[in-house]
Amino acid sequence: MANIGVDILHAATLLGNNNLVAIPTETVYGLAANALSEKAVVKIFEAKNRPSFDPLIVHVADVAQFEKYAQNIPDIALKLAEEICPGPVTFVLDKQPIIPHIVTSGHHTVGLRVPNHPLTLQLLQTLNFPLAAPSANPFGYVSPTMAQHVQDQLGQKVPYILDGGSCAVGIESTILDFSKGNKKVLRLGGMSLEFLEGKLKTKLEVQTSSSNPNAPGMLVSHYNPGKKIFVGESINKLLDEHAGEFADARIGVLAFRDYQPEIDKKLQRVLSPSGNLTEAAYNFFTMLRAFNTLPVDVVLAEWLPDEGLGRAINDRLKRASTN
């Protein structure tokens, strides 16, 4: 099992010796290694069972570091980064040669992000290298938002988990592509489209499909909690439409605001009784993960309003329900 603690110097020593450390961020926990060391980064792919075509995000202490690891950065991207970092957003930019190909899966771009978590920012300031870190879950599974989630799934494979409590945002960063003249969203995430468009004073193209060669990790099937998931307009509608199919199934419910009266409350999770999308994002992965151990055969979930963080949660619900 991994040790869990708040010892930044211990984490820094492990990382300096090419070992893995799980780190807290405001979005989800990351499985970190020295991004400049191939020997360290290969351990991430092994521990997660991650296919080598899926590139890793590189985490840095501040925007001033961007020029060390990226080049041809458009002014608009740099200006935006200075305004909104640290925060739940990743910038895809042309990479500098110092970033090894294993990190970027052979692409000439690199995803850079300044995570907004005090422990990890302090850790990054201590290190003289950036941290490559995907979400700290086995490939294809639900992202971890607490140290214990990492322990449960990757505890055998990572020596140390830096414990930063529950992740404040709860869903992964929004990925913005500013490479090669692009201005696109590759992944909807913890920073809403409306907010980003407001900052940029322009509409953004959203291209999050797995067929986009510039978004190699956006797989159609992802975030699997080990149960079959159906998503619909409302739980009632799903129950009506699939009545025959569910006749003998034990049903779990992942609802937005309200419990479903005819189903045992213990088998239900409500994302935000007050209908707050930020609260729903905070609860989303923990509640989705709970169905893994609850005695249910199928999970019925309902779409959230397609605005703000609701859009990013819906994207994840769609991938979680695809197998």
Rounded to an integer, what distance in angstroms lies between the CA atom of residue 108 and that of residue 252? 44
Regarding 135 and contact with ligand TXA (CB under 6 A), the answer is: yes
- Counting residues that bind ligand TXA (by CB under 6 A) gives 29
Please state the φ and ψ torsions of residue 204, each to the nearest 5 degrees.
-110, 140
Count of CB atoms within 10 A of residue 45's CB?
19
SS3 state of residue 284: helix
| Structure tokens given for 259 | 């419990």
Nearer to ligand TXA (CB atom), residue 25 or residue 260 = 25
| Structure tokens given for 2 | 């991994």
CB 99 within 8 A of CB 142: no
Nearer to Mg ion (CB atom), residue 90 or residue 135 = 135
Choosing from 87, 111, 130, 225, the residue that interacts with ligand TXA (CB under 6 A) is 111
Site string for ligand TXA, 169-198 (x = CB under 6 A): ---xx-x----------x------------
Quick one: which segment of 2-10, 216-224, 264-272, 281-289 binds ligand TXA (CB under 6 A)? Answer: 216-224
Touching Mg ion, residues 109-138 (CB under 5 A): 135
Quick one: which segment of 8-16, 120-128, 133-141, 224-232 binds ligand TXA (CB under 6 A)? Answer: 133-141
SS3 state of residue 149: helix
Q: Which residue has the tokens 């300044």?
A: 114
Residues 6+ apart with CB under 8 A from 314: 303, 304, 306
Regarding 299 and contact with ligand TXA (CB under 6 A), the answer is: no
For residue 53, how many C-alpha atoms fall within 13 Å in the half-sphere facing its CB? 8
CA of residue 260 relative to chain centroid, distance: 29
Tell the smallest beta-carbon distance from residue 135 to Mg ion (Å).
Answer: 3
Choosing from 11, 22, 28, 119, the residue that interacts with ligand TXA (CB under 6 A) is 28
Beta bridge partners of 251: 298
Regarding 235 and contact with ligand TXA (CB under 6 A), the answer is: no
Tell the smallest beta-carbon distance from residue 135 to ligand TXA (Å).
Answer: 4
Residues that bind ligand TXA (CB under 6 A): 25, 27-28, 30, 54-57, 90, 92, 104, 107, 109-111, 113, 115, 133-135, 172-173, 175, 186, 214-218
Residues that bind Mg ion (CB under 5 A): 135
